[in-house]
Amino acid sequence: MFENLADIGEKLDMLEQRLADPSLIQDQKRYQQVAREHSHVAKLHQLYSRYRAVRKDIEENRELIRDEADDAELAELARSEVAELQEKEAELEEAIRIMLLPKDPNDEKNIFLEIRAGTGGDEAALFAADLFRMYSRFAESKGWKIETMSSSPIGIGGFKEIIALIRGDHVYSRLKYESGVHRVQRVPDTEAQGRIHTSAVTVAIIPEADEVDLHIEPNELKFDVYRSSGPGGQSVNTTDSAVRVTHLPTGLVVICQDEKSQHKNKAKALQVLRARLLDKIEQEQRDKVSEDRKSQVGSGDRSERIRTYNFPQGRVSDHRINLTVYKLEQILAGALDEIIQPLITHYQTESLKTSC
């Protein structure tokens, strides 16, 4: 399994030499790519070195067992040692297998978080706001930066739609399994008889597109400007600051009106549009590879109901991996690792099965 790791030490040395090259430092984008590759190879080299050391210890202990006639007590100790070492060996093998899996090219990217109220009226809009707070707190706990790009608030504190850019280290790799329908079951504040209502909110995680990822011709874009609407600052309904951009070939539309400046709204709208276009292209490519998207590991199908938040029982259930945790308050407060880590482990395990 690890035959390609025999020369990993040489590869690590080569990458270290490249990082020390002054000409590479001048090209920051290329430098960052090499630095990321160096970090990955260094971790792999460390794991493989530990794996080889454990294998060596196992063989040495087995020699002691074979010489049991000379020292029975030492041989018994060696048997106990071998059992522990074999557990470490299995753990290291799995860790190395995971690192050798093909990488998602988007894993290191920033993301656009898009949350939209679905069925349930105002209650769905209120839960959209709850989810936005949940992801915002999770982002803060990771040291990520979050910037609202566009929002459509309702008067009682909810959102029909909110779009935010989250920047940080490996954001997409942590949040890519959040795409889908999130269902909430609770008694709304407006419910006089205490009946539980079920509402739904859709979440989309879209990797940020770099300038080099996608080229858009100017004549493919149509811009409309108009006055902002809804809750906001002094500029709302007084200046034509809101921007609607339409990509004519695909019909994709993005609206931004949160900023007082038309120029800033236009820049944000183009950022979101670029990401959506690249996501659409990549999705079409995935569809060509597999006729049945739902059979794909971590396909991120946004029509799929992935999670239920049940307030009366204080539980959160992820339906893809049959995981239920009775920590609803903590999850909504941003303790998402309780769910995200099991999801990552599950999909890594599925990938290992298909790669063997």
Which of the listed ranges 59-68, 132-141, 253-262 does the model predict with the highest average pLDDT? Answer: 132-141
Task: Evaluate if residue 231 carries a pLDDT over 70.
Answer: no
pLDDT at 137: 97
Other C-beta atoms lying within 10 Å of the C-beta of residue 229: 11
Of 230, 261, 287, which closes a domain?
Answer: 287
Average confidence (pLDDT) over 97-109: 84
Residue 90 and residue 103: Cα distance in Å, rounded? 22
In a domain, 106, yes or no: no
Q: E strand or H helix at 353, and its extent?
A: helix 337-355
Task: Evaluate if residue 232 carries a pLDDT over 80.
Answer: no
| Residue 244 structure tokens | 């609607």
Residue 331 and residue 138: Cα distance in Å, rounded? 9
Q: What is the CATH number of the domain that holds 265?
A: 3.30.160.20
**Backbone region of residue 292 per phi and psi (left: phi > 0; alpha: psi in -120 to 50; beta: other values):** beta
205 and 115 housed in the same domain: yes
In a domain, 202, yes or no: yes
Per residue in 7-20, pLDDT (tens digit) is 888 999 999 999 99
Mean pLDDT of the chain: 85
pLDDT at 298: 42
324 and 258 housed in the same domain: no
253 and 197 housed in the same domain: no
Contact 297, 348 (CB under 8 A): no
Residue 9 and residue 36: Cα distance in Å, rounded? 16
Of 53, 70, 100, which closes a domain?
Answer: 100
200 and 343 housed in the same domain: yes
Q: Which residue has the tokens 């954001």?
A: 171
pLDDT at 95: 87
Q: How confident is residue 42, by pLDDT bands cut at 50, 70 and 90?
A: very high
Residue 142 and residue 4: Cα distance in Å, rounded? 34
Contact 132, 150 (CB under 8 A): no
Residue 15 and residue 138: Cα distance in Å, rounded? 34
Residue 115 and residue 126: Cα distance in Å, rounded? 11
DSSP-H helix ranges across 142-184: 171-175
132 and 199 housed in the same domain: yes
pLDDT at 230: 56
Q: Which residue has the tokens 């900023």?
A: 259
189 and 323 housed in the same domain: yes
Of 261, 287, 313, which closes a domain?
Answer: 287
In a domain, 198, yes or no: yes
Per residue in 301-339, pLDDT (tens digit) is 456 789 999 999 999 999 999 999 999 999 999 999 999
Domain count, the chain: 3
In a domain, 292, yes or no: no
283 and 321 housed in the same domain: no
Strand order across the beta sheet in which 221-226 lies: 221-226, 242-247, 252-256
190 and 73 housed in the same domain: no
In a domain, 105, yes or no: no
Per residue in 261-298, pLDDT (tens digit) is 888 888 898 889 989 888 888 877 766 555 433 433 34
Neighbouring-strand partners of residue 346: none
Per residue in 140-181, pLDDT (tens digit) is 999 999 999 988 998 888 999 999 999 998 899 999 999 999
In a domain, 84, yes or no: yes
Task: Evaluate if residue 213 carries a pLDDT over 80.
Answer: no
156 and 280 housed in the same domain: no
**Backbone region of residue 298 per phi and psi (left: phi > 0; alpha: psi in -120 to 50; beta: other values):** left
19 and 85 housed in the same domain: yes
In a domain, 293, yes or no: no
Task: Evaluate if residue 234 carries a pLDDT over 50.
Answer: no
Structural domain harbouring 228: 218-287
pTM of the full predicted structure? 0.72
Q: How confident is residue 229, by pLDDT bands cut at 50, 70 and 90?
A: low
Per residue in 53-96, pLDDT (tens digit) is 999 999 999 988 888 777 788 888 888 999 999 999 999 988 88
In a domain, 185, yes or no: yes
Cβ-count burial of 66 within 10 angstroms (0-12 exposed, 13-18 middle, 19+ buried)?
A: exposed
267 and 130 housed in the same domain: no
243 and 176 housed in the same domain: no
Q: What is the CATH number of the domain that holds 141?
A: 3.30.70.1660
Residue 58 and residue 221: Cα distance in Å, rounded? 65
What is the amino acid identity at position 52?
Answer: R
Residue 269 and residue 266: Cα distance in Å, rounded? 5
DSSP-H helix ranges across 142-248: 171-175
Q: Which residue has the tokens 């989810």?
A: 131
